[in-house]
Amino acid sequence: MTLSDVMSKMLPPLGNDGQDAGNPPTMPFWDMRIAPDGRSTIEQRWLDAFSLRNVSGDATAIWMREFPGAVKAVWFNILPVGWVGEWHPSPAPQWVVPISGRWFIETQSGIRVEMGPGDIHWGADIAGGAVHGQIGHRSGQLGEVPCVQLMVQFDSAADRSVAVF
């Protein structure tokens, strides 16, 4: 798949602005999974099922989307300039959100996606097999500054369905 193929499938930044209580917002995210052919692949999809909820006390309701499953760990990662993680599977089903800097993911299907602040990534390529000696995906830091990320990992293989949309 070429970059133009990936770009043609990219979604707009936000499904709507959330001002209409009868029209829940949606937002794009990058979904990395194992394809039916056993290789890792990634595509952009819509995160939906938001509902208006009060976060605490008398705060005005905001749009929230809860996920089932036990959280295994919450990590803050810093990818140093030049860091590359050669072929590896995701260590657990996980959300990765870049806070600053940029990074990339390259899948076994040949798709490379570059992400920065505002992008959201779901990694669930845990069961991927070796394809031409490659397992999982490659990832790495981009640019002149480290990439700072927030990563939320889920506890068990059963939680892979956390992000079934």
Task: Give the separation between CA 17 and CA 19, rounded to whole angstroms.
Answer: 6
Domain span at residue 119?
A: 3-163
Q: What is the pTM of this model?
A: 0.83
What six digits make up the tokens of 133?
Answer: 């000696």
pLDDT tens readout for residues 65-85: 988 889 999 999 999 999 999
pLDDT in tens, 92-116: 999 999 999 999 999 999 999 999 9
Q: What angle do CA 147, 25, 68 make, to 5 degrees?
A: 70
Q: Are residues 47 and 28 in contact, defined by beta-carbon separation less than 8 angstroms?
A: yes
Mean pLDDT of 118-127: 90
- Picking from 96, 152, 120, 153, the residue whose alpha carbon sits closest to that of residue 29 is 120
Quote the CA–CA distance of 147 and 82 in Å, as a whole number.
10
CATH number for 69: 2.60.120.10
